[in-house]
Amino acid sequence: MSAPAFSETRRQAVHISMVAFAFGLRWLTWWQAALCALAALAFNALVLPRSGGQAIVRPVDAARGYPVGILMYPLAVLVLILAFPTRLDVAAAAWAVLAVGDGTATLAGRRWGRHALPWNPAKTYEGLASFVIAGGTAAVILAWWTAPAIMPRPSLLFILLAPAAAALAAGFAETVPMTLDDNVTTPAVAGAVLWLGGLMTAAAWATHRDAVGAHLIAAVLVNALAAGGGWAAGTVRASGMVTGWAIGVAVYASLGVPGWVLLFLTFATATLASKLGLKRKAILGIAEERGGRRGGGNAFANTGLAAVAAIAAVTTPYHDAAMLAFVAALTTGGSDTVASEIGKAWGGRTYLPTTLSQVRPGTPGAVSIEGSGAGIIGALVLASAGAWLGLVPAALVWPAVGGAIAGSVVESALAATLEAQGVVNNDVLNFINTATGAIVAIVFMRLM
């Protein structure tokens, strides 16, 4: 008897239906839930491929004899449970986004998708809308269902808003063109947004609410002028203009003029660095596409985390850590661009950090002494600007610079491996870069 043929519809139906097990998180302890996820992982690895599971194994997985998709799903659920042992409502809501959002987007996109997204023609507006609506609804339901088991019980505001925001963020992340499995990116983004939502408190917001309100009108107008000016000057594309405006509004409203000035300095530094040495870059074939004009993906990858940190500074009790994360994220993103562009323009020999072998300039992950030195100087200048603007104490300049160096090392290593193999693109690496810089800076601050 021949094995059943692969069916994408059947695979997605199974993908979605597995969320039914998330309802059990209302009664299970975290370790019981983790054991169940481990059992599911073992079943998918050892039993399912041999018991009719071929119909839900993607052809690419069948060809390599390793069913990555059906293994990553239970592994993602296991990681969510281990990451949030005291907040299984967060794990349940992120699971819902993964199962219902991702699965529905694929089915809806195949059935009704007619309008391709400008940043990823393989995805459609119809699929994205289905992801956000279906995934958000399922996440809200599961957050509400598991809430009675959480102590203290989550607020109704969190139950209604955080899962919806998680679905929206994960939906857009799922449209980023990369080969990294959706079963990794979707729950990671959803879980991070839900985690941030769980940190927000009414008391923290009450402390900063009046200041945010006072900044809001200026934030909208100033960033409209800045974004429009950048588009007119040819430094950003239309998507970069819109994304930059939204990020600028979030930063200005949350942190006022000092935060916005550091954001602008970071953007100006990156733009100037990309314009340097254009002749040599063009000769070597490593000049940025579209003359270095920044798109929406680039804007979010380099400054999106800083905007999140700015919001966290006025909505959570962790104001000081969030402020350092803001400065460190911008310092890391800006200095990395300086290092890359100066290295391309005037760098000598370039090496891969993973093998120390000499490679051609422009090779993913390649570094040069000139570029690395310029990046460190850029980090010191931007972090010092953050202290001069009063965003962080002067003593925290060095943690921010240390975070920037760590982020650059991690990004170079990942670029030399994952980007070279097409697993992730440059925007994903830039986001990982800024996240690493912010995390390492906070760790250094805690150790001081």
Pure H helices in 113-237: 125-146, 156-174, 182-199, 202-233
In 16-26, which positions are buried (b, 16+ CB within 10 angstroms) versus exposed (e)?
bebbebbeebb
Are residues 52 and 181 located together in one domain of the fold? yes
Q: Are residue 383 and residue 252 in the same domain, yes or no? A: yes
**Res 279: pLDDT:** 57
Looking at the domain assignment, is residue 59 inside a domain?
yes
**Domain C-terminal end among 199, 231, 263:** 199
Q: Do 434 and 407 contact (CB within 8 A), yes or no?
A: yes
**Predicted pLDDT of residue 169:** 94
pLDDT at 182: 83
Which pLDDT belongs to residue 1? 44
**Based on the domain organization, do 127 and 251 belong to the same domain?**
no
pTM (two decimals) = 0.84
In this predicted structure, what is the pLDDT of residue 285? Answer: 54
- Structural domain containing residue 209: 204-447
Overall domain count for the chain: 2
Could you tell me if residue 377 is inside a domain? yes
7: three-class secondary structure by DSSP: coil
Q: Does residue 325 sit in the same domain as residue 392? A: yes
In this structure, the answer to whether residues 221 and 174 fall within a common structural domain is no
In a domain, residue 81? The reply is yes
On whether both 17 and 126 belong to a single domain, the answer is: yes
Task: Render the burial of 349-359: b for 16+ CB within 10 Å, e for the rest.
Answer: ebbbbeeeeeb
Spans in the chain with pLDDT lower than 50: 1, 283
Q: Which DSSP helix (H) or strand (E) runs through 72?
A: helix 68-83
Q: Do the domain assignments include residue 299?
A: yes
Shared-domain flag, residues 174 and 190: yes
- 147 and 230 share one domain: no
Do residue 304 and residue 213 come from a single domain?
Answer: yes
Same domain, 133 and 188: yes
Any domain includes 209:
yes
SS percent in the chain: helix, strand, coil, step 5? 80, 5, 20
Indicate whether 3 belongs to any domain.
Answer: no
Please give the distance of CA 208 from its chain centroid, rounded to a whole number: 26
Query: Is 166 in the same domain as 153?
Result: yes
Residue where a domain stops, chosen among 177, 199, 221? 199
Distance of alpha carbon 178 from alpha carbon 430, whole angstroms:
13
In this prediction, residue 86 carries a pLDDT of: 96
Domain end among 199, 225, 259: 199
Which residues are CB-neighbours of 389 under 8 A, at least 6 positions away? 258, 259, 261, 262
Same domain, 209 and 149: no
Which sign does the torsion angle of CA 177, 180, 183, 189 carry?
A: negative
